[in-house]
A and B are shown apart, each in its own frame.
Chain A
Amino acid sequence: MAVARLMVIAAGVNKDMARIIAGIGTSHIPAIGAAVDNGKTGEAYWQPLMNGIKPAREWMKNTRPDVCIIVYNDHASAFSLESISTFSIGVGDVFPPADEGYGPRKVPVVEGHSELAWHIAESLILDEFDMTMVNDMPVDHGLTVPLTIMYDQPDAWPCKVIPLSVNVVQYPQPTGNRCYMLGKAIRRAVESFGDDLTVAVFGTGGMSHQLQGERAGVINRDYDLKWLDKLVNDPESITGINHTEYMRETGSEGIELIMWLIMRGAMAANINEVYRFDHVPVSNTHYGLTILENRL
C-alpha cells in the first residue's frame, strides 16, 4: 500500500483528486443484452464472444472504478427528432432502462453521480464545450450493454455512472477531432474534482456495421483493426477521418467509432493496451473491445 502510494506521488498524481485510471472501448450491440437477459449465452453462437469478454470481466473485478463515464449514443429512446443535442451529460441521480420498442431490459437501474456530473458539465462549458445537461433520461442498450459486457448480471451495478450521450444518428455527427478534444476536456474536468475517486471512461459503439439499406451487413475488419492500432498508439493520426470515410469504410453505423475517440482523448498520451478482443459476427456487427490503462 505504502509503495503504491509512493509511486502515485512520484508520478505526480494527486491522491486527493479524482483521476481517470482506464479507458474501455466496446461495441454496444443490443443482441448481446438480449442473449444475456434471456439466458442464451450458452448457445454455440455466443461462445466466442462470451470467452472473449471473460478476461475483461476479470480485469473489471480487480480494477473496480468508483465511477464510469459511459460515452454512448441514444437510439431514439430518451431523445428523438424533436430535439437533437450533439453532446449531452446525465446529471441526475438515477437513470432507468429505456423501453426501446420491445420492453425495457431487466437490468438494474443506473445510479448517477450528480455532483461529479455537474462539476464536469461546468468545467466543460467553461472549457468551451457547450453541453446539454439532462436530468430525466432513460438509458438504452447503448449504455446498458457495455455495463453487461463488463459486469455480467449483478443485482446492482457496482459503480456510479455518468452517461455522456453523443448524436451519431443525425448527420452531421461531431467530427472525430471534436470528439478527441472533448475527451481531453473531460480529463481536465475529472482531475479538478476534489474527491478521491477512480474513474473509467467508456467509448462505445462500432466497430464496422451497417443496419440499413441494400448494403446492410457490410463489415470491414481490416480497416477496423488498423484504426484500433492507431487509436491506441497514434490517436492524432485518425482524428481527421471524415464522415464519408467512416460511412464508406465501416458502414453507415460504423461512424459510432468517433465515440471511442472521446475515451482516448480522456486518457494519457502514452498508455498500455492491457486487453483486446474482436469477433465477427455479433448480429450484424464486427464486435471490438479494448482496455487501456494510463501508465503511472
Chain B
Amino acid sequence: MVDSSVVLYGQTIAYTLYVIVILLVMAWFSYQITRGGGKNIVKPALFYSFVGFLVVLGITLHIATHETIPWKPIDLNRDKIKADKVFDISIKDHRFRLPADTLRIKTGEIAHFRVTSDDLTYGFGLFRKDNSMVFQMQVVPGHMNDVMWEFVRPEVLTIRSTEYSGWKSDKMVLKDVVVIK
C-alpha cells in the first residue's frame, strides 16, 4: 500500500532525473550555440509540439496523482466518507489539547482529525520517528480544519505544529502520542 514515504521516494527519483536531464540539455545547448555550422532554423512545428507537451504534462500530473496517491481522493470526498475514529483537537496559547493522552488507531482504519484554533493560525502534522512527514494541514482560527487519513502500517507518530505562530511554535511538539497498531 502506498504511504507518504513511498510518494516522497518516487518524487525524489522523478525530480532528480528531471534535474539531471535539464542540466545536460542546457550544457549541450550552451556549447552548441557557440559553434557555427549546422541548421540554425527552428521550425514552428517544434514550438507547437513543445506547447502541446507542456499542456499534456501539466494535466497528466494531476490525473496521475489522483489515481496513485490514496489520500487525494479521500481528501476530496471526506464529507461523504464515514471515519472509523474521530479525534477533536483544539489549540490555544501554543498548546495542543488532545481528547486523550495517546491517540490509538488500527492499521487500515480511517481516522478523522478535526482541529480548531482559539487564537492564532497554526499547523497540524504527524511525523515519524525519523522526522519524515506523514501529512500536515493548516489550522486557521474560526474554522474547522479537518483531515482524513488511512494508516497503512504500525508506527508511533509525533504531532507538531507545521506553521509558524511566533517563536514559541518550535515547542509545539507532542512526541509519540499517536500509536498505529
Partners in one complex: no
